[in-house]
Structure formats: structure tokens, C-alpha cells
Amino acid sequence: MAEIVAVCIGEGRGSIKRPVNQAMLREDYGLVGDAHAGSVRQVSLLAVESIDKMFRALESINPERMHSQGVEINPGDSAENLVTKGVNLLSLEIGKQIRVGETAVLEVTEIGKAFHRPGFYLLPLEGIFARVICGGVVKTGDVLVY
């Protein structure tokens, strides 16, 4: 079963987003309160499996340093809005619709994106972007149907 494991919003473009319990998806706009709402990339999605894969790769390079420094990758650190579990986001085609929770519907508009500044960010490599077809509340634990 595919589900939402975190909902994240950010106040500034390019900034780390912070997890919230729930947020409102507004039709043809995005997540209310998020800096990217109203833009071409209304909602960003990243799989927790991608986050875990990146953490394991970093940990394999120097596990002692990772643990001694307390390195973590938290929801929102890659500037993603929705962290998913149980769906291979990169396998979804542009135009594919995803039902989130009881009423919200997203449509995939972009898979990955170009890097727009120096540094490493997971979202351009393994994230997808969507527009809101039908609004509604989105919260942690919501089921995804695609």
C-alpha cells in the first residue's frame, strides 16, 4: 500500500521545508502556505525509499563519521512537499493521476528537474512534480492510489 509519510511546507524558495501534520491542497495552486504554491511545480513528491537509499550510500562511505556527527536526512531536507512510501515515483508517467487521501487528486507534470544551484539535492534526481487537479486536506498516513 502506498501512503504519505510526511507533509512538508517551506516559507522560502530553495529552503528546507518543515514537516506539518496536515496541509490544504488547493486546486491548480498547490499546498497552501508553501513557497512553491502557484508556480509551475505546485507540489513536489519524493519517496522515503530514495531518502533511505541516499542515507545508506553516505553511511557506507564513513559510518563512524555519520554516527559521531549525528548526520540525518529528514523529511523536507530536499525541499519536497510530500514524502511517499510504497510507490516507485519515477515509474509514473507524465499525466498520471494520483489520488491522495479522501478527495485530493494530483497529476504528474514533471519527473526530476535540472539542478538550479550548486550542491546536492535529492529532489532533482528522484523527485516528481505535480499539479493539483482536485483539492483537499493531505496528511501523514493518507493512502495514495495511482
Q: Give me the domains of the chain, ranges plus CATH numbers.
A: 2-145 (2.40.33.20)
* pLDDT one-digit tens code per residue, 21-66: 999 999 999 999 999 999 999 999 999 999 999 889 888 998 898 8
- pLDDT score at 144: 97
**Which pLDDT tens digit goes with each residue over 66-125?**
889 988 888 888 889 999 999 999 999 999 999 999 999 999 999 987 666 655 567 778
Q: Return the closest-CA partner of residue 10 out of 34, 28, 32.
A: 34
pLDDT of residue 58: 85
Is residue 7 scored above 80 in pLDDT? yes
What is the structure's pLDDT at 117? 60
Residue 2: is its pLDDT beyond 60? yes
Predicted confidence at residue 114, as pLDDT, reads: 65
Q: pTM score > 0.85 for this model?
A: yes
